[in-house]
Amino acid sequence: TLSGKTAIITGSNSGIGLGIAREIARAGAAVVLNSFTDRKEDHALAAEIAQEFGVEARYIKADMSKGAECRDLIEQAGGCDILVNNAGIQHVAPIDEFPVDKWDAIIAINMNSAFHTIAAALPHMRKRGWGRVVNIASAHGLTASPFKAAYVAAKHGVVGMTKTVALETAEEPITCNAICPGYVLTPLVEAQIPDTMEKYNMGREEVIKKVMLERQPSREFATVEQLGGTTVFLCSDAAAQITGTTISVDGGWTAL
Ligand code: NAD
């Protein structure tokens, strides 16, 4: 189990990040939840996890689009043994119409934040003599789709950064890997449905089966629990020699 360890999960007040935080807590680690808001509900999520799993849990506000706040999150938490870089946003547009502010925000939140958190967390992991970095990339870290230039660029960047960090920590008891989910039904995906319905002139169910899950041969969404379980596996002793690689949880997407 992971008792005695502390995990920081960025972007974890909903979706995959929250699912991962819950599975890490189930495995016995203390968890630090994060997002850029500071609402009662955010802190309540941590309290629920603490109660359900009998672990320490807290919520720390930090905006992952800002490098200084990324680093400050790690320091405020007092460092960590497990760092899960999960915060992410999406915007869909042809590259010649892609809003510059959206491009900058996606690169900052989906990619640069991992640079800052890893840079701040590694010294703590070295002091503790153990560390696990898990970056939540995407099938779009390995393949592309039209209209997602910023997201695909950021996620490919995260996969590249993962390999480099693994090489820099290769002789230490620290690993760094990326998980590449296919489609998982979360608020981020939910938000893409109306645009996609309009683009393809289709209804909701048709968009889900024919467009979204078109490239996911299983024709099923992956679940946040499955991503949490994969993260816990990467933190286990069985995974100690797994570093610098990607694990796809995509129903066969990248096998096509
Ligand atoms: P989500 O919208 O439910 O969660 C995104 C999380 O990031 C939220 O907790 C949000 O508050 C947080 N966040 C956004 N901007 C932030 C900021 N500036 N600072 C701090 N936190 C911020 O979406 P999700 O689907 O759970 O996505 C989580 C990760 O998984 C993302 O990196 C996404 O790219 C990746 N992913 C998702 C899917 C999918 O199908 N849902 C597939 C592949 C990869």
Q: Which of 250, 253, 254, 182 is nearest to 215 (CA)?
A: 253
**CA 196, CA 201: separation in Å to the nearest integer?**
8
| Binding pocket residue ranges, ligand 1, CB within 6 Å | 11-17, 35-36, 63-65, 86-89, 109-110, 136, 138, 181, 183-184, 186-189
Average pLDDT, stretch 243-252?
Answer: 98
- Contact assessment for residue 179 and residue 231, using Cβ atoms and an 8 Å cutoff: yes
State the distance between the two ends of the chain, measured CA to CA, in whole angstroms.
35
Check: complex ipTM more than 0.95: yes
What are the tens digits of pLDDT across the range 91-111? 999 999 999 999 999 999 999
Could you tell me if residue 129 is left (phi over 0), alpha (psi between -120 and 50 degrees) or otherwise beta?
Answer: left
The pLDDT assigned to 189 comes to 80
* Mean pLDDT over each residue of the chain, to the nearest integer: 97
Question: How remote is the CA of residue 175 from the centroid of ligand 1, in Å?
Answer: 22
Report the sign of the C-alpha dihedral through residues 242, 244, 249, 255, in that order. negative
Q: Is the pTM of this model over 0.90?
A: yes
**CA 250, CA 186: separation in Å to the nearest integer?**
14
Token duo for residue 22:
């819950």
Q: Which of 84, 85, 29 is nearest to 58 (CA)?
A: 29
Q: Where do the domains of the chain lie?
A: 6-184+222-250, 185-221
Concerning whether 151 is annotated as a catalytic residue, the answer is: yes
What are the tens digits of pLDDT across the range 120-161? 999 999 999 999 999 999 999 999 999 999 999 999 999 999
What are the tens digits of pLDDT across the range 42-86? 999 999 999 999 999 999 999 999 999 999 999 999 999 999 999
Fold of 6-184+222-250: Rossmann fold (3.40.50)
